[in-house]
């Protein structure tokens, strides 16, 4: 059985990827991919299926966050970086050769514990909660209990999307009292384990352990993200340093193929073609 190897974020210190080979791809290939934990399920499943179809190929996939993926592909420690946000102006200036490839669409869902009676929050209510000005669920129509705010770390593409949609308009940032988690999975686990918690994560990570709440009256569904009605959404990217070489292009072509985009749907994201 072929086994996908998951490389930890210490990959960045393990040496640089060989120079690009622009010749035709071999039957087998070796790629390192790292970055956004939102893109991680897509990259892992596409890598697994690709390796099954191309015996001998080795595609190593890890997380680490969008900023890690962007820096790692820029400094040559991975072939493809994953990001769930656009490149920042500072990154474009520092890494002018990076090329982005849109591979899926996603929404960022606000989540609470399933026992929480709240089912919808306005942008003003979310702003109050995440800036620390609103600290009790009773102030937004819930029970009399202190709110536990959970957020992603600085540099997270998921956090960038949330802040752009919710906090940018008022020029404020996430409260210093928020519990910071470094992956979508950890945010979900934290909220699932505390009935007073609130968090945000990729729509693809929502399951029965948590409850996704509406944003200004619109529930976070694939249909509402696709139509543009749900405002907290973004495009998911794979990034190469310059134009992709033969192996990188072969994998990107697979991700964007009918089979690859079906995998995008299977892991609860939205095909970029839609």
The answer, yes or no, to whether residue 274 has pLDDT greater than 90, is no
pLDDT for the residue 54: 95
What dihedral do alpha carbons 5, 8, 14, 17 form, nearest 10°? 60
CB 148 within 8 A of CB 194: yes
More confident site: 232 or 1: 232
The answer on pLDDT for 130 being more than 70 is: yes
Q: Identify whether the C-beta of residue 200 lies closer than 8 Å to the C-beta of residue 187.
A: yes
147 is written with which tokens?
């709110």
Closest listed residue to residue 155, CA positions, set 238, 233, 66, 34: 66
Q: Is the pLDDT of residue 226 over 70?
A: yes
Interatomic CA distance for residues 271 and 86, integer angstroms: 18
Domains of the chain: 9-106+235-271 (3.40.190.10), 107-233 (3.40.190.10)
Residue 28's pLDDT is what?
A: 80
Q: Does the pLDDT of residue 252 top 70, yes or no?
A: yes
User: Mean pLDDT lowest for which of 20-24, 147-151, 157-161?
Assistant: 20-24
Give the H or E element holding residue 226. helix 222-227
36: pLDDT strictly greater than 50: yes
Concatenated DSSP letters of 150-204: EEEPTT-HHHHHHHHHHTGGGT----TTSEEESSHHHHHHHHHT-TTEEEEEEGG
The Cβ-side half-sphere exposure at 222, using a 13 Å CA radius, reads: 15
Query: How do 148-152 and 233-241 pair as beta strands?
Result: unpaired
Burial, 86: exposed, middle or buried (Cβ in 10 Å; 0-12, 13-18, 19+)?
Answer: middle
Query: Cα separation of 274 and 98, whole Å?
Result: 25
- Report the predicted TM-score, pTM, of the whole model to 2 decimal places: 0.82
Q: Could you write out the three-class secondary structure of 14-44?
A: CCCCCCCCCCCCCCCCEEEEEECCCCHHHHH
Q: How far is CA 160 from CA 33, 145, 153, 154, 272, in A?
A: 21, 28, 10, 8, 20
Give dist(CA 183, CA 252) in Å, integer: 24
């Amino acid at each position: 059985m072929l086994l996908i190897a998951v490389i930890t974020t210490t990959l960045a210190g393990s040496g640089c990827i060989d120079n690009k080979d622009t010749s035709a791809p071999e039957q087998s290939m070796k790629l390192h991919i790292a970055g956004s934990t939102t893109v991680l399920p897509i990259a892992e499943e596409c890598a697994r299926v690709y390796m099954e179809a191309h015996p001998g190929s080795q595609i190593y996939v890890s997380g680490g966050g969008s900023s890690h993926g962007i820096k790692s592909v820029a400094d040559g420690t991975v072939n493809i970086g994953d990001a769930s946000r656009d490149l920042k102006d500072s990154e474009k200036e520092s890494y002018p050769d990076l090329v982005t490839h849109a591979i899926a669409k996603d929404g960022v869902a606000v989540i609470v514990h399933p026992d929480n009676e709240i089912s919808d929050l306005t942008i003003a209510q979310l702003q109050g909660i995440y800036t620390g000005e609103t600290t009790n669920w009773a102030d937004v129509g819930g029970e009399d209990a202190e709110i536990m705010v959970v957020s992603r770390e600085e540099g997270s593409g998921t956090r960038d999307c949330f802040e752009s949609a919710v906090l940018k308009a008022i020029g404020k940032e996430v409260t210093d009292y928020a519990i910071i988690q470094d992956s979508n999975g950890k945010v979900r686990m934290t909220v699932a384990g505390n009935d007073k918690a609130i968090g945000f994560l990729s729509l693809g990570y929502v399951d029965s352990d948590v409850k996704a709440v509406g944003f200004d009256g619109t529930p976070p569904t694939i249909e509402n993200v696709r139509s543009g009605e749900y405002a907290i959404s973004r495009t998911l990217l794979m990034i190469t340093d310059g134009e992709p070489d033969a192996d990188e292009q072969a994998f990107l072509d697979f991700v964007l193929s009918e089979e690859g985009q079906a995998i995008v749907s299977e892991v609860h994201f939205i095909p970029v073609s839609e």
